[in-house]
Structure 1
Amino acid sequence: MKNYTKDELKKIYAARREKLFAFMKENKITAAVFEDTEGRRDLSVRYFTGHPSDALWICSSDGKNALVPWDENLAKERSVDVKIVPYNEYDRKNIEAVREILKSFKKNDPRLKVEVSPATPYPLFLKYVDALQGWDVLCRENSVHDFVLSLRACKDEYEIECTKEAARVGDLIIEKIENGIDDGSIKTEMDVSLLIERELRLNGCERNGFDTLAAGSSRSFAIHAFPGYTSAPWPGKGLSILDFGVVFEGYTSDTTLTVVKDATDEQKKLVELVEKAAKEALPYYKNGEKIKMAGLVADEVFKKAKREMPHTLGHGIGLEIHEFPRVSAKQTDDLVFKPGMIVTLEPGLYDSKLGGVRLENDVLVTENGNEVITHSKIIYR
């Protein structure tokens, strides 16, 4: 991956914030509060500041902004070109921090509007209303926070590079998994899950993108096996699924492979249908194409075989494992793929007797088509 200089990163983060400030000005929103705290995680704080966890970020439409981190030392190390105000200055009380930061912005507009997240609990919203005298506190749908989610859907250069690095590490891990199956070092769901944990950290990644889902043939009938992994055999005779992601600089990959071992003809038919759905839907992941079309194509493949996929065809990935947009035949006609979107393509079928199969890769939508940036596969043994 390219090594970005501090000045290059400043420009990247500044460009993101400028889009936010422009939206706020256009919609006459004076200020906004983003909260990444336990129980109310909003990774938009990291998106705009670079700080990885536990902080408030308060900004105004004219560009004033302040990061209030729980860990001041970490913020100084990781944040990019923002004013840092220690949480301790406000007795570690979020509402007091928001009130005082807004005062420091020195706004004289008679119609001051501040937006808090639509996910804010009602009792907390009322506390904001009481504390922010002189401000019209907004907590609503179609908010600045919703705009940010749509903004995050199209990745910039740095985000694409980080996601590609996560994908590269994921591919290395898949290769090690194949070797482990062949040499017998991987025998259980636990073996493969702990291998992923070890290898991602050896290769500079932060963590798993989500709890690894390793389901041997006795548990692969579930879309998301519960628990995520056990000491059961993996891969087993029939169909075994592995769904995992790795995170590099905040950005996650998301891949699913299926191991086919001594499968019956009926099980092989499920695999063939999933591979066909993936192949036929991929060309629709392109700039300007209605997102629903990819879902319709995959659904039609299964419908002809009198099968039905019980989940959507894909979803955006980024700082979170599930981001906008969802890829589904039920999407509206106005929702289209755009350059910079990184979206999963993950057709799957599940049968209580035969087991399950899913094939998932991450697809970058480009100006002229797409690029599959992960290389998950169906593994035959």
Structure 2
Amino acid sequence: MTVFEQRRQALKESLRVRGLPALLVSHAANRWYLSGFELADSQCNESAGWLVITAHGGDTLLTDPRFEEAARRVWSDEIVIYSSRKMEVVGAFLKSLNPPALGFEPRSLCVRDYERLREFVALTPTEGLVEDLRVIKDADEIRRMEASCVLNERVMLALPERLVPGMTEAQASWEVERLFREGGASGLAFPTIVGAGVNAALPHAEPGQDRLPAQGLVLVDAGGRLDAYCSDQTRTFWLGSEPSDRFRHVLALVREAQRRAIEYIRPGAPIAESYHLVRRFFEEHGVADRFTHGLGHGVGLETHEAPSLSSQSRDVFRPGMVVTVEPGLYWPDWGGVRWEHMVLVTEDGCRVL
């Protein structure tokens, strides 16, 4: 049994427990996780295909002729090919299954397709059935993520010599992508964030024509995709001679908050508490209002996936989770500092990747 078949078997068990006869998988990363077919869709209004996973029977891949050969290379079960009359073909197939209801993924099925599908079959919304499986990485996934993280670290270590005062943020972003590509990445995990000076106060700054300072800070948040799996790291650099006292102070606060959070992570520990302990630390130093986002998130086939290291989390850390720990402090009139590590939860604690 392949790893993809094993994952489908685990999903089938989950469907049986919930009394669902089948699930329509429309989210691209979930599709690949269960089949090895097409990790990403070309754009938000197109799909390379869907999967129908049944609780007790066979499974089916639905795709169009452009992807038929690619599908047959990785999928040995039934394949349904549709063309311009997609919903008629898909609908007829679903109707032939005659399930009392079909589970679907609300986050990745557009309203138009939802309305058409309801003409053929009753639909039941589900939440996180495949994502719950993806939260815990197996040994092979961890190996891939370690390699992806090693490449990311090499990129970050190379950046101080590549970030030249006077170059634009956009040029710096291109240098980041070049380093990832030259290192073997199939692409970026997400658009690189580069914020120079006050732009570093924007947690998701878009690189533009502002220039890197001769003396000042530059925040870089970047990740690559290697062997299907993502990495995600942030560093805040100082360009010029001696960092300012303010930069040193803010960086020290951020790094200490991160250290405390990582020290806390262990199996069974409530995830929300990792956020709260960082916030309490910042409150003690009078800067909690400058900490404006969650502490981190899961990483895997996607850059942002479960679990969320937020105050609202009801989950606990479990072995095999891979999460980011990325506290940050931001001032619109000065800039910001963020520092991010990827962390694997182990059987007896955690390990920084």
Tell me the equivalent position of 2:335.
355
**Alignment CA distance shift 1:126-1:191 (3 Å):** closer
**Alignment CA distance shift 1:237-1:250 (3 Å):** same
Note the aligned Cα RMSD (angstroms).
2.2
Tell me the equivalent position of 1:211.
191
User: Secondary structure of 1:210's match?
Assistant: coil
TM-score in terms of structure 2 length: 0.88
**Alignment CA distance shift 1:341-1:236 (3 Å):** farther
Count of residue pairs brought into register by the alignment: 338
Counterparts of 2:86 and 2:213 in 1: how far apart (Å)?
48
TM-score in terms of structure 1 length: 0.82
Counterparts of 2:166 and 2:269 in 1: how far apart (Å)?
42
Deviation at 1:179, TM superposition (A): 3.1
Tell me the equivalent position of 1:277.
257
Tell me the equivalent position of 2:12.
21
Tell me the equivalent position of 1:113.
101
Name stretches of at least 5 consecutive residues in structure 2 with no aligned partner. Answer: 41-47
Tell me the equivalent position of 1:129.
118
Counterparts of 2:156 and 2:247 in 1: how far apart (Å)?
22
Counterparts of 1:236 and 1:361 in 2: how far apart (Å)?
27
2:226 counterpart of 1:238: no
Tell me the equivalent position of 1:43.
29
User: Residues 199-249 of structure 1: CA distance to partner in whole angstroms, max 9, x if unpaired?
Assistant: 222232221111101111141111111xx2123333652221000110123
Residues 160 and 237, structure 2, Cα contact 8 Å, conserved in 1: no
Deviation at 1:129, TM superposition (A): 1.9
Q: 2:23 aligns with which of 24, 32, 42?
A: 32
User: Secondary structure of 1:311's match?
Assistant: coil
**Alignment CA distance shift 1:97-1:176 (3 Å):** farther
2:142 counterpart of 1:153: no
User: Secondary structure of 2:273's match?
Assistant: helix
Tell me the equivalent position of 2:228.
250
Moved more, 68-77 or 241-250: 68-77
Residues 135 and 298, structure 2, Cα contact 8 Å, conserved in 1: yes
Residues 213 and 243, structure 1, Cα contact 8 Å, conserved in 2: yes
The percent of aligned pairs where both chains have the same amino acid is: 27
Residues 274 and 357, structure 1, Cα contact 8 Å, conserved in 2: yes
User: Secondary structure of 2:101's match?
Assistant: strand
User: Residues 285-343 of structure 1: CA distance to partner in whole angstroms, max 9, x if unpaired?
Assistant: 211111012111111111011112100000011111111111123333xx100111110
User: Residues 31-86 of structure 1: CA distance to partner in whole angstroms, max 9, x if unpaired?
Assistant: 111124xxxxx420011011124211112112411212341233334x3x443625
User: Secondary structure of 1:339's match?
Assistant: coil
Counterparts of 2:72 and 2:264 in 1: how far apart (Å)?
43
Counterparts of 1:270 and 1:156 in 2: how far apart (Å)?
37
Alignment of 1:262-341 (within 5 A): 262-308=242-288, 309-332=291-314, 335-341=315-321
**Alignment CA distance shift 1:215-1:124 (3 Å):** same
User: Secondary structure of 1:112's match?
Assistant: coil
Counterparts of 2:317 and 2:24 in 1: how far apart (Å)?
29
User: Secondary structure of 2:301's match?
Assistant: coil
Deviation at 1:266, TM superposition (A): 2.4
**Alignment CA distance shift 1:235-1:16 (3 Å):** farther
Residues 67 and 82, structure 1, Cα contact 8 Å, conserved in 2: no
Tell me the equivalent position of 2:43.
none
Tell me the equivalent position of 2:70.
74
Tell me the equivalent position of 2:151.
169
Tell me the equivalent position of 2:162.
180
User: Secondary structure of 1:220's match?
Assistant: helix
